Amino acid sequence: MTYETILYEEADGVATVTLNRPDKLNAVTGQMLDELKDAVARAGASPDVRCLLLTGAGRGFCAGQDLSDRAVASERPDLSQTLGQGYNPLIKAITELPMPVVCAVNGIAAGAGANIALACDIVLAKRSAKFMQAFAKIGLIPDSGGTWHLPRMLGLPRALGLAMLAEPISAEQAVTWGLIWQAVDDDMLMIEANAFAKKLATQPTRGLAEIKRAMRASFANTLDEQLALEAGIQGELGRGHDYGEGISAFMEKREAKFTGE
């Protein structure tokens, strides 16, 4: 697929996907959703990629759904369909991608834009960036996983406050509340995010993918179920290359060379 609303680049084991409608704060169109889903699948299928880095061009990360596509009442689609066919598969693709997904939030992340970021595994943001559950301002609920991620990350009081007030919070506040990993000085965002992504791309990818799967599965599991899941995964990983390499590297007091297997 040729991309017109995003950029896609592979280098050093990292696929970098950049939302690229800067004049509209990278607001999401149907075309952008199709391109994003294709890009995530492409990264997942590439033998050279062991980490995905998502960011935005210009002063915003993503302002959510492009509302100009919803301006004409008679042309408004059934939103359950736009979610079911567009946003939901994208959120699933990110959360189930068997490699770490780093998100570099370079500016405002609003509506579905915020929740696409929150679906990623490690989120860094410019100190000047803001996160906004904008949905209530247009009579909607947080979608794209917002009502799933927010209460789990924040607890109900803050999740409800963010969703109902629909006011932006700063990147620092997002860190303090446990919504994201780190806020960094604006001019350091891409330096830090690239360093994170490149480092993660040299780590035991299969193990990292299983960390992500097990952590997410835990929300629906009892302790017994989770212990059994951990034992099963560990059994598999214990037969893999990277476990053996990690042990050898430790014994030989050298850096491990993980293949991702």
Amino acid 241 reads H
Q: Is 129 in the site for ligand T3D (CB under 6 A)?
A: no
For the bound state, the minimum distance from the C-beta of residue 86 to ligand T3D, rounded and expressed in Å, comes to 7
Cα 39 to Cα 6, 7, 32, 84, distances in angstroms: 9, 9, 10, 19
SS3 130: strand
Cβ pair 28, 66 in contact under 8 A: yes
For the bound state, the minimum distance from the C-beta of residue 2 to ligand T3D, rounded and expressed in Å, comes to 23
| Residue from the set 121, 143, 210, 242 that interacts with ligand T3D by CB under 6 A | 143
* 137 vs 257, beta carbon nearer ligand T3D: 137
C-alpha distance across the termini of the chain, in Å: 28
Spatial distance between the Cα atoms of 218 and 205, rounded to a whole number of angstroms: 20
Q: Is 118 in the site for ligand T3D (CB under 6 A)?
A: no
Count of residues near ligand T3D by CB under 6 A: 24
For the bound state, the minimum distance from the C-beta of residue 58 to ligand T3D, rounded and expressed in Å, comes to 10
| Residue from the set 63, 105, 119, 154 that interacts with ligand T3D by CB under 6 A | 63
For the bound state, the minimum distance from the C-beta of residue 140 to ligand T3D, rounded and expressed in Å, comes to 6
* 78 vs 252, beta carbon nearer ligand T3D: 78
For the bound state, the minimum distance from the C-beta of residue 12 to ligand T3D, rounded and expressed in Å, comes to 32
**Strands 101-105, 51-56: parallel, antiparallel or unpaired by DSSP?**
parallel
Structure tokens at 86: 């567009």
Q: Is 89 in the site for ligand T3D (CB under 6 A)?
A: no
Secondary structure E strands in the chain? 6-11, 14-19, 51-56, 60-62, 101-105, 108-110, 122-126, 130-132, 169-170, 182-184
- Whose tokens are 């963010």? That residue is 162
Amino acid 205 reads T
Give the binding range for ligand T3D (CB under 6 A) out of 38-46, 104-112, 172-180, 209-217. 104-112
| Residue from the set 4, 9, 48, 68 that interacts with ligand T3D by CB under 6 A | 68
* Interface with ligand T3D in residues 3-32 (CB under 6 A): 24-25, 27
Cβ pair 41, 1 in contact under 8 A: no
Q: Is 105 in the site for ligand T3D (CB under 6 A)?
A: no
Residues that bind ligand T3D (CB under 6 A): 24-25, 27, 63-68, 70, 79, 82-83, 108, 110-112, 132, 134-135, 137-138, 140, 143
